[in-house]
Amino acid sequence: MTSPNFSRVNKDYFILFIIWLIALIIDRTWFLLDESIPAYDQSAHLTMALHHYRVFQDFNLFSGDWWLSLWQRSQSYRAPFVYICTVPFFFLFGKGYDQATLVNLLFTAIIIVSVYHLGKYLFKSCQVGITASIFCLLFPILGIMRTDYLLDYGLTAVVIFTFTILTVWKDSFTGFYSLMLTLSLGLGVGLIMLAKPTGFIFILLPSIWLFISFIRKRQYIKLLQTGLALTVAWLICGFWYGLNWLTIITSALNANNVGKAEGDPPATTLAGWLVYPNMLPESIGIPILFTSIGILLVYLIKNKFKKEAIKAIWHQPGLNWLLIFLFSSYIFCSLGTNKDIRFILPVFPVISLISAYLFHLIENRWFDRIRFTAIGLSGIVLLNNLFPLPLIQAWGGKHLPNDEGKKYPLTQLIDKINQTNPYLRTTLGVIPVSTPQVNEFTLDYFGTLADFRVSGRKLTTNLSQVEQDLENFSWYVTRDHEPDEPGERGETKRKLKSLVESSADLKLQGEWGLLNADKLRIYQRVNPAVVVEKLNDSNVAISLKQVIAANQLIVGKNNSITYQITGSWDDLQNGLLLLKWQNEQSAWYHDHGIALGNLYCGLKCHPQGSFQVTENLSTFIPKTLPIGKYQLSAMSLDRRNSKVTPLNVPNASVDVTNTGNIAKSPALDLVSRMSQLAGEFQQGKLDNIFVQVGNFNQYDANKDYLNQIEFAANYYLQKEPNNLNWRYTLALSQLLQRQVPELIQNLTEITKYDAKNPYAWLYLAFVYLYNFQPRQAEPKLAIAEKLKPDVPELKTLKTVTNIMKFLPLIHF
């Protein structure tokens, strides 16, 4: 016979499945009707999800390099959990916006089941658990988030899952079941930290509350289990934090500044504490809110506000536990400067439980009718928020599907670029935007969706950098009716648009009409830095076919030069040119990736036959170089296997002089520019480096120039280990790629060859601190202080070292 309890559980799970199925029908109907363009944040998240999908194309569970590439993919406070969860849906259903949002169905299932079990456990009532699950379906804010793609809904799922485990775990002490709960708790905490770095605040106070209780009651087994759970959590999220902790902190600080810029009231004002309470009615729906509060009032009136009745509610352990979670989350979120309803989203499943408990305080037939009516009205409120229903406007229209995607030809724009450049990866310069439909994030998303072939990057908002940005992109997009902005930002936008549309160096490649006589245009450089042509020949060996330069090159200037290289696709795509212009006395280098590392036609695109790459570049000749005749020697370094192949060089010689004028030349390649910055890096001049590297990362969206530097530098340092320019250039590259072990090794070598330079020791100390090795950093700081005690950063690094020495020593 089947036990009654088993039948009840089966019935409850069937009801939960029906709730989830209704959510599926509502959500997918919304997406079926919607043809909108993802806005700023959504596009950024979708792009990151696609890049994680790309990492999983070469999945290798047992490869340290693969794991490193995974953790490096998301480098700011945007943690990778939701992106990783989205990857299977991309593999199963395709890589679009609608397909990405299917991951929300997984999160909905986690929320519904977790809330059910939490209600059943805390209130010993399956009815409360089922009702709370229904509320999670009906709350307008959760419905809106289910039909969007943001990190907060995934965070909500793992927070309520972990809080449910925490609730059951606190009362479980021994046995296999308790061990499984401990491991699950560690898993949940680790996933919270991988979902959003600030996610821990939602379970922080309940966890501290329990920890103090375990100590007070001398429950040592729970303390041991706590240590095990935290160890599991760290194993899950520790590598990502170890790699990204500094960028997480700086990004979080920037996010706080966003809140200030948006005018959110601070926590020092009453308005700051009322932001979230004021949002509650529209977030959970008037019917549920009023019915829950109304039943509570009727219950108290019915019991004449007797102390026993109040105590019966207030002293309910389950309710108190939920209130600890709710009010601590409210306090932490209200203390933040950036206030948006989605930042407090994980409290809504707990609010659903509290509401469900109050919903069932009085059980009789009349109140059953009231409850059914409230649930029905809440369903209408939810639908009115998501669909254009002719109902009460004050309660609806918050997140309606629209067809704006038909009005903005972003797919056609990206296709035009790819048709023009079928064999090149493109970075598109976008005038700092301004509208949710056309901005660097949406264009970046559409370009990434097109097999990762186009990246959208924002042009400068600084007037002094306008000319630099107009030299370093090959493609630009403009729009006629850009929203006007005051101040330098607005002036910069107007100047950029005017210069792009009037430049003789750029040509119009596409134009599309938008609404209200608006137009979208793309421009390409007349003489692009790289041109790729398909040859009729079969595969040929890589060769430097032609070098074109002026007879005389001038020191201290960027001099125009053209290289023409032929070879097979794979050899060219993975090739790095090692170019050395030399005479008997001295030399200068012009190393760079073939086609500047931009040969690409898709993830699975491997064209057969031979290709010709023409590079229209500049080469910089140092002022210290003696004048005279210089001859070119060339090699190709294969990045797949580090094999070096000498190239037959056509008769390429130039005269270097210190007089004369140069007509306008192309922008200098990024490897050469990083080599120039290495001198400033050696001298501790970091301000300009940070600005320029930020620009470089805009110009080369894939940051391939850093990889090029790494290969070239490692090749030359095998023969010239004391070459400090290559050492510091490589150190910059390793720092920006966060290759900590390699950077420590390189900086250690630098301190041997540049031992009198205090900055070499400071850099080494900083990297040790970054790697949580304060005891290794301390003697390096002592040497730096002895060499130059007045370095401003020295005091800060010494303070950080002293603080870290009191923390557990963790090596990543």
Supply the DSSP string of 173-231, one letter for each residue.
-SHHHHHHHHHHHHHHHHHHHHH-GGGGHHHHHHHHHHHHHHHHTT-HHHHHHHHHHHH
State the Cα–Cα distance between residues 454 and 47, nearest whole angstrom. 11
State the Cα–Cα distance between residues 182 and 187, nearest whole angstrom. 9
- Domain assignment of residue 1, yes or no: no
- Domain assignment of residue 256, yes or no: no
Same domain, yes or no, for 460 and 565? no
Domain with 746 in it: what CATH number? 1.25.40.10
Same domain, yes or no, for 730 and 647? no
Same domain, yes or no, for 27 and 119? yes
pLDDT at 255: 64
pLDDT at 434: 64
State the Cα–Cα distance between residues 299 and 350, nearest whole angstrom. 22
**Count of C-beta atoms within a 10 Å radius of residue 227:** 12
pLDDT at 811: 43
Please, are residues 446 and 416 in contact by the beta-carbon 8 Å criterion?
no
Same domain, yes or no, for 653 and 607? yes
State the Cα–Cα distance between residues 25 and 20, nearest whole angstrom. 9
Q: At 748, is the secondary structure helix, strand, or coil?
A: helix
pLDDT at 812: 39
Residues 323-367 pLDDT 10s: 999 999 999 999 988 888 999 999 999 999 999 999 999 888 898
pTM: 0.93
Cβ burial of 228 (10 Å; 0-12, 13-18, 19+) is middle
Which of 225, 76, 241 has the alpha carbon at shortest distance from 151? 76
- Domain assignment of residue 318, yes or no: yes
DSSP 8-state class, residue 649: P
Which of 560, 534, 532 has the alpha carbon at shortest distance from 548? 560
- Domain assignment of residue 394, yes or no: no
Final residue belonging to a domain, choices 627, 657, 687: 657
Please, are residues 774 and 804 in contact by the beta-carbon 8 Å criterion?
yes
Q: Residue 737's domain spans which residues? A: 670-805
Q: Residue 280: which residues within 8 A CB-CB, separation 6 or more?
A: 289, 351
Final residue belonging to a domain, choices 623, 657, 691: 657
- Domain assignment of residue 26, yes or no: yes
Q: At 458, is the secondary structure helix, strand, or coil?
A: strand
In this structure, are strands 653-657 and 552-554 parallel, antiparallel, or unpaired?
A: parallel
pLDDT at 395: 55
* C-alpha dihedral (775, 777, 778, 781), degrees to nearest 10: 180
- Domain assignment of residue 165, yes or no: yes
Same domain, yes or no, for 167 and 301? yes
How many Cα atoms are found within 13 Å in the side-chain-facing hemisphere of 758?
A: 16
CA angle (537, 596, 532) in 5-degree steps:
30
Domain with 556 in it: what CATH number? 2.60.40
Same domain, yes or no, for 169 and 305? yes
Same domain, yes or no, for 341 and 450? no
How many Cα atoms are found within 13 Å in the side-chain-facing hemisphere of 740?
A: 17
User: What sign results for the dihedral spanned by CA atoms 400, 403, 408, 410?
Assistant: positive
| DSSP state string for 137-152 | HH-HHHHHHHTS--HH
Residues 510-553 pLDDT 10s: 999 988 878 999 999 999 999 999 998 777 889 999 999 988 99
- Domain assignment of residue 111, yes or no: yes
Same domain, yes or no, for 475 and 509? yes
* Residue 568 phi, psi (nearest 5): -75, 160
DSSP 8-state class, residue 285: -
State the Cα–Cα distance between residues 497 and 486, nearest whole angstrom. 16
Same domain, yes or no, for 577 and 688? no
Number of structural domains in the chain? 4
755-760 long-range contacts, CB within 8 A, separation 24+: 756/787, 757/682, 757/787, 758/684, 758/783, 758/784, 758/785, 758/787, 758/788, 758/791, 759/681, 759/682, 759/683, 759/684, 759/784, 759/791, 760/682
- Domain assignment of residue 810, yes or no: no
State the Cα–Cα distance between residues 587 and 634, nearest whole angstrom. 13
Same domain, yes or no, for 711 and 767? yes
Same domain, yes or no, for 558 and 411? no
pLDDT at 1: 44
Final residue belonging to a domain, choices 522, 552, 571: 522
pLDDT at 339: 86
612: β partners? 533, 566
Segments of the chain scoring below 70 in pLDDT: 1-8, 253-263, 391-397, 433-434, 807-812
pLDDT at 396: 57
Same domain, yes or no, for 87 and 209? yes
pLDDT at 532: 97
